[in-house]
Amino acid sequence: MSFIEVDSKKIYIEEYGKENKHTIVYFHGGPGENCLDFMGQAKALGEKYHVVSFDQYGCLRSDAIPENESFAVKEHAVLIDKMREKLGIASWTLIGHSYGGMLACLYAYTYPKNVEAVIYECPSLDFILSAKSIASFFIPYFKGINSDEGVDNCAKIINKDYADKKSVFTDMWHVLNLVKDEKERQYLHNISAEELNASYPRQDIPDECRGRGMICFEKIVQSDEFYNDYLPCLKEIKQPSLLLVGKYDPVCCETQRDYFRQFAVNGKIVEFENSGHFPRIEEPHTYTDSIINFLDHAL
């Protein structure tokens, strides 16, 4: 294990290809998950780039967030840039998955001089749009199991005008608790939930680390910032950007994809024909090649 201390907080990091010129940093999703699921890609991309992968503050092997500490998306971006300085990296390319895509978008908008390029993997750049899309995604599942409650709860999300933005998460949580099929719940298309879990490296992780992500998750989803619309930031981010999205991913919905097509400066899109929310695992070789091809021209 390797740790870096930033603002008296211990952050778990992994580095691959440290001798290579350009640096890629991976922002995992969740919020509250970890970087275990990126190890395969980190090793592959580390053949050509310096790759930094880390457990975000409050997640798994990094320090837990104290109950009395305020922490949200903006504080996350600030802490990550201090980590960049501590590592002695002048600028880097961002890869952000799901919530990590939201974080990468805010980071690139806030620290443009420190960013060479941005890669979004199935991002949620407007959580309310994502929630409505996910609700539509689940309706066929609930009809298939004859769950009127599930169909009705999804319809509520789709049709509701969320003046109180935070209430969308409560509604979404009710829906997710009704989904018993883990493949559906993880928005997978090409692989099973068991195959997804098997792709994570088996590591000896202390039991006390495993519950940390839930505190991080709760703090971020309870903050106002999580429900901001980050799509307009795409107009201001001038660095080359790449959207990697599974054809069947409901999180990065068609409205968000269209916005990226129209407004992302120097933006390109790769759609994975046989993937849902995890193209780096569902179509790993195409994923790696797509990033290398993009960065060959962007850097």
| Pair (89, 143) in one structural domain | no
The pTM of the full predicted model, rounded to 2 decimals, is 0.97
CA angle 224, 227, 231 (to 5 degrees): 130
| Pair (240, 116) in one structural domain | yes
pLDDT in tens, 141-158: 999 999 999 999 999 999
pLDDT in tens, 34-83: 999 999 999 999 999 999 999 999 999 999 999 899 899 999 999 999 99
**Domain closes at, from 145, 169, 187:** 187
pLDDT in tens, 7-27: 999 999 999 999 999 999 999
| Pair (216, 270) in one structural domain | yes
258 contact partners, CB below 8 Å, separation of at least 6: none
210 contact partners, CB below 8 Å, separation of at least 6: 60
| Pair (213, 106) in one structural domain | yes
Maximum pairwise Cα distance, the chain:
56
CA angle 145, 148, 151 (to 5 degrees): 90
pLDDT in tens, 249-265: 999 999 999 999 999 99
Provide Rg for the chain, Cα atoms: 18
| Pair (122, 206) in one structural domain | yes
Its domain, for residue 141, covers 127-187
85 contact partners, CB below 8 Å, separation of at least 6: none
| Pair (152, 202) in one structural domain | no
Q: Which two tokens stand for residue 75?
A: 């504080």
| Pair (106, 200) in one structural domain | yes
| Pair (119, 156) in one structural domain | no
| Pair (112, 208) in one structural domain | yes
Q: How many CB atoms lie within 10 A of CB 231?
A: 18
**Domain closes at, from 167, 187, 207:** 187
Instruction: Identify the CATH number of the domain in which residue 278 sits.
Output: 3.40.50.1820
pLDDT in tens, 221-237: 999 999 999 999 999 99
**Domain closes at, from 187, 215, 233:** 187
193 contact partners, CB below 8 Å, separation of at least 6: 182, 183, 185, 186
| Residue whose pair of structure tokens reads 């092997």 in the numeric block | 61
Q: What percent of the chain has pLDDT over 70?
A: 100
- Dihedral angle at the C-alpha atoms of 52, 58, 63, 68, nearest 10 degrees? 150
Instruction: Please give the tally of structural domains in the chain.
Output: 2
Q: How sure is the predictor about 173, in pLDDT bands with cuts at 50, 70 and 90?
A: very high
pLDDT in tens, 174-227: 999 999 999 999 999 999 999 998 888 877 788 888 889 999 999 999 999 999
Three-state DSSP class for 68? coil
| Pair (223, 93) in one structural domain | yes
123 contact partners, CB below 8 Å, separation of at least 6: 96, 97, 98, 100, 101, 102, 104, 105, 243, 251, 252, 256
Residue 1 pLDDT exceeds 80: no
**What gap in Å lies between CA 292 and CA 299, rounded to an integer?**
10
Q: How sure is the predictor about 278, in pLDDT bands with cuts at 50, 70 and 90?
A: very high
| Residue whose pair of structure tokens reads 């989904």 in the numeric block | 179
| Pair (250, 225) in one structural domain | yes
Residue 135 pLDDT exceeds 70: yes
| Pair (105, 178) in one structural domain | no
